[in-house]
Copies of this chain bind each other. A is one copy, B any other.
Amino acid sequence: MTSKRLPFDQAEYDRRLLMTRMAMALAGLDALFVSDPANMQWLTGYDAWTFNHHQGAIILQDADPIWWGRQQDTQGAMHTVWMPEGCVIGYESDLVSSMERHPIEDLARHISGLGVQNLGIEMDSQHFSAKGFSVLLQVLPDVGFADATGMMNLQRAIKSAPEIEFMRIAAAISDKVMEGVMKHADVGMAKNQLVALAYRDAMQGVDDAWGDYPAMPPMLPSGSDPAAGLLTWSGSPLVAGEDMTFAFSGCYRRYHAPLCRTIFLGEVSDEKRRAEAALIESLDAGISAATAGSKVSDVVKALAGPLGHGDDIGNGFGGLIGVAYPPSMEDDVISLNADSEAVLEPNMTFHVCPTLSVSGANVGIGQSIRISEDGAAEVFGGVSPIFATK
């Protein structure tokens, strides 16, 4: 018997499987192939850096889920999934880089043996390729296929009590990293040196809680760079007058709680102070409006109010958070967009991050929150919203 290292008890996994099966039944699916590694981890416990290969979990209505992946990863699967060893199936290593055969042929054989009629596939997941789908279509001409992108991500939206505990720990790690950044960032410091400190603090974790790799590296645009906010760092130094916006998430057992603050570098103009005040007011308003039963669009309206955007509110105020693997931190089944009709439910968790453009540079503030049973949302972590000035 392999020693297991599961983060949750069996009741939690049973609950998740039940929810997934209900969603499958509603969609008329007797089987679902889950390739998104966050969905796979949430449902089975599987946690390993193997998602650059064809792999996934086959979810059935009347039998345990099946882990399917490379033969050499089956040991890792047995360490991390809750299902018995018989539910772990590996495909031979010579399929991995074969020019003649494809790993999905092996998957198709298993699915065929299970007598599946209607199979859900995460068609728009990064982790299920166009080639893989064409192989499935060819080998399984009698199976019906349905696009199940986002089906499991929606099941994951509402967090259980133990999941929320993990997110509070992730938030404590985010706080520690941000406090270090606020302390050490300074004019003349090279950005990669700040990233080095952030990673060190994040991996060390807090108290007994060890840090895990985040689904995204830190983002720390400054000056004219913020307009290109998803460029990663370089060795160039922080410059007086070119404020830096630092966004990062601590990670605990794959759960995230992102945090974002601008750090003013050098003299702070009145215009910048007004932007800071507006962003803090925006975040407060958004948190107050984020009550169970509210529509996402109303939360976005509350966030946008203090920012003076007028009618053109725009998108990009944040999104759903929880389990994540690179490259995606947020789950885009529910995003904080002006036209979203999604309704907030207790224990949904979001990263809320209003931003403003000041003289061509972006400033921003971001906080992770939990929708409460009643009243305003719970804010994860406790870093001051006031921007540090260096």
Contact = CB atoms under 8 A, between A and B. Distances in A.
Contact of A203 (B76, B199, B205, B314): B199
Contacts of A314: 93
Interface stretch (A11-19, A22-30, A131-139): A131-139
A193 interface: yes
The range of chain A's interface size is 35 or more
Nearest to A203: B196
Contact of A235 (B52, B126, B132, B210): B210
A204 B127 CA distance: 32
Contact of A97 (B3, B73, B210, B332): B332
Contacts of A78: 228
B196 A197 contact: no
A54 to B, nearest CB: 9
A224 to B, nearest CB: 8
Contacts of A72: 229, 316
A110 B147 CA distance: 25
A314 B125 CA distance: 32
Interface in A104-145: 121, 123-134
Nearest to A5: B234
A50 interface: yes
A328 interface: yes
A227 interface: yes
Given A129-B130, A326-B327, A332-B97, A47 B199 contact: no
A205 B131 contact: no
Given A132-B124, A337-B97, A235 B217 contact: no
A126 B209 CA distance: 32
A62 interface: no
A228 B332 contact: no
Contact of A231 (B47, B102, B129, B335): B47
Interface of A: 3, 5, 47-52, 72-73, 75-76, 78-80, 93-94, 96-97, 102, 121, 123-134, 147, 149, 190-193, 195-197, 199-205, 208-213, 216-217, 219, 224-225, 227-235, 314-316, 326-328, 332, 335, 337, 339
Q: Which 8 pairs across A and B sit closest by C-beta, in order of nearness? A: A210-B235, A76-B228, A130-B133, A199-B199, A196-B203, A124-B131, A192-B210, A123-B131
